[in-house]
Amino acid sequence: MNATMSDTKTTRTICGYCGVGCSLDLMTRDNRIIAVHPAFDGPANQGALCVKGQFAYDYVHHPDRLTHPLVRDGEGRLQKASWDEALQRAAQGFMDVEQRHGRHAVYGVASGRTPSEANYMMQKFIRVGFGTNYIDNCSRA
């Protein structure tokens, strides 16, 4: 990271949209993205970006972002919860399903949008947790 202006930070990363994998520099200030600059030394894009890669980043700071876990209450409504409560509920639910229906009753769907580390964790979760290959990603639809 190089400081281009005293309060602006530059972070080299890869576009999060399609599979071309364009390199870009995220310009940030006060923990917000203020601009995207295409990377001329990006091997996939050589300085080019499309309208999505160049401009469609403001969703990161959108007020609709999920900022805390949600857990469904007794009346069927999603309610704000602590991480501890939500993770416990998530874990207990999978253990209950396995106990009632067996280890082939739990399925994992990994994302084509997340980093590989998330995908690796998803498949490891299913394989170590249940001893099955009941894992897929979203590439079939």
Partner 1 sequence: MSNPLADMEKPDVIFCIGTNMTEAHPVAATRLKKALARGAKMIVADPRRIRLAEMADLYLPIRVGSDTALLLGMAHVIVRERLADREFVATRTEGYDELVDHLQEKTPEWAESITGVPAAMIEEAAILYGSSDKAAIYYTLGITEHICGVENVQSLCNLALLTGNFGREGTGVNPMRGQNNIQGAGDSGALPNNYAGFQPVDDAANQAKFEKAYGRKVDLEKGITKVTALEQCGDGIFGMLIDGENTVVSDPDQEHCIHALKSLEHLVVIDIFLTETAELADVVLPAASWAETDGNFVNTERRIQRVRKAVEPAGEARPDWWIIGQIAQRMGMRGFDYDSAVPIFNELCELSPIYAGIDWDLAESGQYQWPIPYRGHPGTPRLHEDEFINGRGKFSFTDYRDPAETIDEDYPLWLTTGRRLESYHTRTQTGRSEGINDLLPEETLEVHPSDAARYGLHDGGWARMRSRRGAVDVRVQTTRRSPQGTVFASFSFADVPINVLTGSGYDPITHTAELKVCPVHVESIAEGGAVGAGASKVLVQNPPGDLVGEPR
Q: How far is the CB of 2 from partner 1 (least distance, A)?
A: 13
Amino acid at 54: Q
User: Closer to partner 1 at the Cβ: 6 or 30?
Assistant: 30
**Cα separation, 98 vs 3, whole angstroms:** 51
Q: How far is the CB of 51 from partner 1 (least distance, A)?
A: 6
User: Closer to partner 1 at the Cβ: 3 or 51?
Assistant: 51
Q: How far is the CB of 5 from partner 1 (least distance, A)?
A: 15
Helix ranges (DSSP H) in 20-82: 51-55
Q: How far is the CB of 18 from partner 1 (least distance, A)?
A: 5
Dihedral in degrees, nearest 10, Cα atoms 137, 78, 82, 29: 70
CA atoms within 13 A on the CB side of 42: 20
Q: Which of 45, 62, 61 is nearest to 53 (CA)?
A: 45
User: Closer to partner 1 at the Cβ: 6 or 100?
Assistant: 100
User: Closer to partner 1 at the Cβ: 4 or 114?
Assistant: 114
